[in-house]
Amino acid sequence: MECLFFEQGQDYKPTEHLSLGVTTMEYCSQEFYKLQMQERVNEQFVSPIKKFYKDGELFFVQKPKNLYHAHNGSSINKLYKSKM
């Protein structure tokens, strides 16, 4: 997926850190979807999905104007392996 992050708590605060209880969120723009359908890619892809940070933490993820796909998954209830 083009943009994967997690939402935590009742206020759905975005985070890039996987932990128990957070909910997975995915975004995909039209450009990214079309790129996946090509046999070959000849240029660098720059995602139109913007991430905003405050005090070094993810604060807001802006959906692109041409959103192709958004999907929220289930809450994380088990972690099999962590690098932390």
Q: Would 82 be classed as within a structural domain?
A: no
Instruction: Give the span between the Cα atoms of 27 and 62, in whole angstroms.
Output: 10
The number of distinct structural domains making up the chain is: 1
Q: Which domain holds residue 26?
A: 3-75
**pTM of the predicted protein model:** 0.81
Instruction: Give the span between the Cα atoms of 82 and 77, in whole angstroms.
Output: 14
The string of pLDDT tens digits covering residues 13-50 is: 999 998 999 999 999 999 999 998 999 888 899 999 99
